[in-house]
């Protein structure tokens, strides 16, 4: 019989495996999208269901990613200690988490707008497809970005029940922001990816050119953030937030050098979470 202590330990391993704390990357942008629909704070009910939708979607996405990539992870020295390759969790156990997460996502979208519920299959399909993209295209970084772009786009649709240009532009900002830092992250696997036929921009073009592409992607993200603010006629606080985001991205790229990737962990994990929170806070200040 499985003890409660064992179940708790298993759950802790699962949370570590999916890096649950990194939900902070997408969740603040979901709140930002929700804030901008009517440029006011959404109802408590909408915030609750949006939060559940985002957390469950990310949990499903990371679980699927770990499941689908478990055999690749087992061969990569950087990822060989993850829960599935080490046998700390079984594939069946993680599939249970996927099923529960997708069920919660379905429940959450059903409590929001009709369009949000209708787009539920599209969101799930993107979560499933992403892990496979690195097997056939170096555009996988952009596909990952498009998946996380569903955060602000989905939150807008959840409240407005319709699509508009503004959330699309905000979604494009998120897409290029995520794709840029994912390129930086992929530089750590340059040698492994080339040896095992994994498609990624660093493996395809080399680390130096990859970092230049990451810079261009982040400049694009800032342009889309600015365009969103101008179209919605947001106030000074919002543009201060964009300026701080630009400084954070600049600092990230200052940290990373083609011949020194030792600080890529700080750039990926810490500062991108800060950027997401900063944009939410300054958007909130702009609309209240």
- Each residue's pLDDT, cut to its tens digit, for the chain (288 residues) gives 556 777 788 778 877 877 766 677 788 999 999 999 989 999 999 999 999 999 999 999 999 999 999 999 999 998 899 889 998 889 999 999 999 999 999 999 999 999 999 999 999 999 999 999 999 999 999 999 999 999 999 999 999 989 899 999 999 999 999 999 999 999 999 999 999 999 999 999 999 999 999 999 999 999 999 999 999 999 899 999 999 999 999 998 998 888 877 777 655 677 888 899 999 999 999 998
In this predicted structure, what is the pLDDT of residue 171?
A: 96
In this predicted structure, what is the pLDDT of residue 147?
A: 94
The structure's pTM equals 0.93
Q: What gap in Å lies between CA 33 and CA 27, rounded to an integer?
A: 10
Instruction: Show the domains of the chain with their CATH numbers.
Output: 4-287 (1.10.357.140)
In this predicted structure, what is the pLDDT of residue 288?
A: 85
**Cβ neighbour number for residue 161 with a 10 Å cutoff:** 13
In this predicted structure, what is the pLDDT of residue 268?
A: 65
In this predicted structure, what is the pLDDT of residue 57?
A: 93
């Amino acid at each position: 019989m499985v003890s409660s202590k064992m179940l708790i330990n298993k759950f802790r391993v699962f949370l570590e495996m999916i890096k649950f704390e990194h939900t902070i990357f997408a969740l603040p942008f979901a709140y930002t999208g929700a804030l901008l629909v009517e440029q006011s704070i959404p109802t408590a009910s909408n915030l609750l269901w949006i939060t559940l939708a985002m957390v469950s979607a990310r949990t499903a996405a990371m679980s699927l990613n770990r499941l689908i990539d478990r055999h690749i992870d087992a061969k990569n020295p950087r990822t060989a200690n993850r829960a599935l390759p080490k046998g700390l969790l079984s594939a069946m156990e993680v599939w249970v988490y996927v099923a529960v997460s997708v069920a919660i996502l379905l429940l959450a979208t059903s409590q929001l707008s009709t369009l949000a519920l209708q787009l539920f299959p599209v969101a799930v399909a993107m979560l499933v497809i992403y892990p496979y993209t690195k097997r056939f295209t170096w555009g996988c970084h952009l596909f990952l970005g498009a998946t996380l772009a569903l955060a602000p786009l989905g939150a807008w649709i959840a409240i407005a029940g319709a699509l508009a240009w503004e959330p699309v532009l905000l979604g494009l900002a998120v897409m290029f922001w995520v794709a840029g830092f994912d390129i930086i992250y992929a530089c750590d696997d340059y040698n492994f990816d080339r040896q095992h036929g994994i498609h990624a921009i660093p493996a395809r073009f080399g680390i130096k050119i990859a970092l230049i592409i990451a810079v261009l992607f982040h400049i694009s993200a800032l342009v889309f953030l600015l365009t969103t603010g101008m179209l919605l006629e947001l106030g000074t606080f919002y543009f201060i937030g964009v300026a701080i985001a630009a400084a954070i991205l600049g600092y990230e790229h200052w940290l990373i050098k083609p011949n020194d990737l030792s600080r890529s962990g700080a750039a990926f994990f810490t500062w991108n979470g800060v950027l997401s929170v900063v944009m939410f806070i300054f958007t909130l200040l702009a609309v209240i």
